[in-house]
Chains A and B, each alone.
Chain A
Amino acid sequence: MVELEPIVGRYMTLQIGGRSCRIYFEEAGSGIPLLCLHTAGADGRQFRRLMLDPAITDRYRVIAFDLPWHGKSLPWEGYEVEDYALTTDFYTAAIMGVANALELDRPVVMGCSMGGRIVLHLAHAHADDLRAVIGLEAADHQQPWYDTEWLNRPDVHGGEVCAAMISGLVAPQSPDRYRWETLWGYLSSGPGVFRGDLHFYRADSDFRDRVHLIDTTRCPVFLLTGEYDFSCTPKDTLRTAKDIPGVEAEIMEELGHFPMSENPEKFREYILPVLDRVARLK
């Protein structure tokens, strides 16, 4: 008989921002809840390798959900006449909604890219509900580097252009197998979804005015950024870290914007020590 992986996926329907949203999530392991947030235009598959790593799942219940419109979480009813645009309020409600629905006791929230941006907001707005946050490729703000209109228009294939735009955010050292697995998330994304996520990232989440309000004695903050990430650059992360007393920030060598999926073996070198630290927190 074939060996089944320990990852289990299920669905739940939540009311988020006044919408009925059928949410898909995957999980593996037991222990401290570790709620993982995928990047813009992608889905929870990015965290699969973490869920297959006993060094993590022996101590952590690793959970990754797909935001509505992403992965196996369908868009809500009536999507066909909407232009999707993610907001800080909706994103926050989705994350806390999932945490509450699953009755997670002070979870660690780890997000990448736009997920790394929102954890900075959560560390302030929900400090007492969380054990810690981990921001991967996270900053309070970053400079745009292209016009998102190219991501969703009839004369350019959306999946192809999304993947080709972000392909250079994967470090050149990352194994092809994982590189192309990461890019598949973008190649297969729904029309306008990546662009809609970037509404949050670019227009509704400039947190430069509030990261200094984060109290890391209430909610510890860890930041990890890959040296090849030119979207959220190491400079962006270190600048953000300067404004958060008590934050721990590290730049990861030979990694890019998708550390958990583009090179899981390399990422372990950086995330395992952080998870050790988090496990020792009260």
Chain B
Amino acid sequence: MAKLSTAGGPPASHAIEHLADVVNADQPLVHRGRFIDLQWLWQIGEVPYFISIRRGMILELVRGPVLMRSHEFAIRGAQENWERFWAPMPRPGFHDLFAMTKSGRASIDGNLQPLMANLRYFKEVLAAPRKLAEDGHHG
């Protein structure tokens, strides 16, 4: 069982460390993302992570900052907010990307078309660390 943060979900460092494993092992998720080939940025607190997706799999995840690195779109939020978001049973307001953007706990910028065209895929990638808390994955 993964250690949980006081916010309820796995600590951000643990979530990011195992993100690629969890996503790439999820066959229906990878299949859903089979047309995706891009790099996006997930900012967790002060740390930007550049995540390369190729055919629905996470090919590379680079901890930033990295000078001059481009990305299609970015999703940003405070570390504690993501750790609340990853709780197995998140509290109201922390349970969905748009619940968090509406309240200002997260934000989205950049070219949103690939995000919106694959919205279920990316929402499931964002929520993937919940599995670390649920089933002790890589715990």
Contact = CB atoms under 8 A, between A and B. Distances in A.
Interface residues of B, number: 19
Contacts of A3: none
A228 B92 contact: yes
Contacts of A164: 119-120, 123
A169 interface: yes
Contacts of B119: 160-161, 164-165
Given A156-B113, A172-B89, A167 B123 contact: yes
Contact of A168 (B97, B112, B116, B117): B97
B25 interface: no
Contact of B117 (A155, A163, A167, A171): A155
Interface in A17-64: none
> What's the interface size class on A, roughly?
20 to 34
The residue among A150, A163, A171, A227 with the most chain B CB atoms within 10 A of its own CB is: A150
B113 A230 contact: no
B92 A169 contact: no
A277 B123 CA distance: 41
Contacts of A172: 89-90, 95
If over half of B's interface residues share one DSSP class (helix, strand or loop), that class is named, otherwise mixed; here it is helix
Contacts of B112: 150
A233 B91 CA distance: 14
B101 interface: yes
B73 interface: no
Interface in B74-130: 89-90, 92-93, 95-99, 101-103, 112-113, 116-117, 119-120, 123
Given A143-B102, A173-B89, A161 B96 contact: no
The residue among B90, B93, B99, B113 with the most chain A CB atoms within 10 A of its own CB is: B99
Contacts of B97: 168
A210 interface: no
Interface in A122-171: 143, 145-146, 150, 155-157, 160-161, 163-165, 167-169, 171
Nearest to B108: A146
B138 to A, nearest CB: 22
B98 A168 contact: yes
The residue among B89, B92, B112, B113 with the most chain A CB atoms within 10 A of its own CB is: B92
Contacts of B103: 230
Contacts of B96: 167-169, 230
A157 B35 CA distance: 13
B113 A145 contact: no
A161 B89 CA distance: 24
Nearest to A187: B120
B92 A227 contact: yes
Interface in A192-239: 227-228, 230
A145 B92 contact: no
Nearest to B101: A145
Contacts of A160: 119-120
Contacts of B90: 172
Contact of A155 (B89, B93, B113): B113
Contact of B95 (A146, A150, A157, A228): A228
The residue among B93, B116, B120 with the most chain A CB atoms within 10 A of its own CB is: B116
18 contacts: A143-B102, A145-B98, A145-B102, A155-B113, A155-B117, A156-B113, A157-B117, A161-B117, A163-B120, A168-B98, A172-B90, A172-B95, A173-B89, A228-B95, A230-B92, A230-B96, A230-B99, A230-B102
For the complex of A and B, list the 9 residue pairs with the smallest distance between their C-beta atoms, beginning with the closest: A168-B96, A164-B119, A145-B102, A230-B99, A164-B120, A156-B117, A228-B92, A227-B92, A150-B116
